[in-house]
Amino acid sequence: MAATEAQSKLAHVLPLGSRIDARGHLEVGGCDTVALAREFGTPAYVYAEDDLRSRARAYVEAMRVRCDAAGHAFDVLFASKAFPCTAAYRLFAAEGIACDVASGGELALALRGGFDPARIYLHGNAKSLAELREALDAGVGHVVLDSFDDVERLERVAAERGTRQAVLIRVTPGVAGRTHASISTGQADSKFGFGMDDARRAIERVRACDHLELQGLHMHIGSQLLSLDAYRPAVEAIATLGDFPVYNLGGGLGIAYTAEQQPPSIEEYVDVQVRAVTELVGSGKRLLIEPGRSLVANACVTLYTVQTVKRNVSTWVGVDGGMSDNLRPMLYGSLYEALLADRADRVGEGERCHVTGKHCESGDVIVHDVPLDDPRPGDVLVTPATGAYGHAMANNYNGIPRPPVIFCKDGDARVVVRRETYDDLAARDVD
């Protein structure tokens, strides 16, 4: 396959600006991935910094154009659970977007990364008193209330401090997006938010609180959505709860993990959301959206080194990582592409292989049935679209140190999260 044809095949899966050079090597952020593997070792998460910035700017511009036309104010929030990394927080804060966090730990990282506390939104379906106290002490702008227990705890914490905390109420609209059951959140029976009947009672309860200021509603119907048809019915549902100044419409836009997937564009996604609020609720609102996966997933590839090739009934290509650096195939049956970094111009060619991790689980398979051109031990293997939930869910199963995070830009590479060591594995031991 010609390099241009191979590049076109995976262009929307790889980071923006990726290319196949004259030697057939894959370049990300201007850096040769084979050389990156030699310099930094494998496994490694490699991000194209310009891709992260470009997607943040695309979201801001899409919201600006549509909200200005409809008379809305707006903000774009980085849903940081997708990639809770100090360098990412710092980059997105510099791009002028806001942030949502789902725990005290993510809050600490967001603050360390330079986010203005007033532009941080605290989420979570089981927030502890400690997390609420940390949030109010930091001065977070908004807390998203998820339950009546949340209301009671936050009212207590705000009263202790003599403050009045701005809040949103998370509503489960009874509308589910088409996605995996584990990342569907809008259905009536969900662990997240208030059902429609409870939402009405929650609104009354919060309005009666001396130390809570209800500013609006939040909804989220699911993640990795490749269809936008559930957003309008969801907005229609929450519109029956009354008129509010703020509507947070959540995130959920899907991304392309494989060459066959063609997700909606950022512009299409934003257009559906803004149009629904404008037509069903009215103009003059403040609209918030929370992209996470679609900001960071395609900005990254993971580099591995092939360790073994076994040709039994199937061909099994064993690499030096697996479920410790990418749990998504095991949790959700997620599909990925794979290619060899020094033969990227031959993507789609060769024998059908299963790319397997090194962990002691038969289910530790990263990619099923992918064509690879004569894979051999020592090859650098690349899986694209690993920028969301790879680093976030990384673990130490089998005592494997977690990989580094490398940011690449204009041919320069820098480590923003170092590789763990064996000493790190025992760092919390007290005996």
- Residues in Cβ contact with 178 at an 8 Å cutoff, skipping those fewer than 6 apart: 222, 225, 226, 227, 230
What is the CA 163 to chain-centroid distance, rounded? 32
* Vertex 54: Cα angle to 49 and 60 (nearest 5): 135
Question: Nearest CA to 277 among 290, 267, 287?
Answer: 287
Query: Which of 99, 300, 353, 360 is the catalytic position?
Result: 360
The answer to whether 275 and 348 are in contact (CB under 8 A) is: no
Q: Do the beta carbons of residue 122 and residue 107 sit within 8 Å?
A: yes
For residue 195, which of 165, 174, 179, 169 has the smallest C-alpha distance? 174
Query: CA-CA distance, 111 to 104, in Å (whole number)?
Result: 11
Preceding peptide of 43 cis, ω within 30°: yes
Q: Which two tokens stand for residue 360?
A: 């002691």
Nearest in space to 327 (alpha carbons), one of 301, 295, 366, 381: 366
Angle subtended at Cα 156 by Cα 152 and Cα 157, rounded to the nearest 5 degrees: 120
CA distances from 161 to 149, 257, 394 (A): 19, 46, 37
Residue 408 designated active-site: no
The CA-to-CA distance between both ends of the chain, in Å, stands at 57
Q: Tell me which residues are annotated as active site.
A: 360
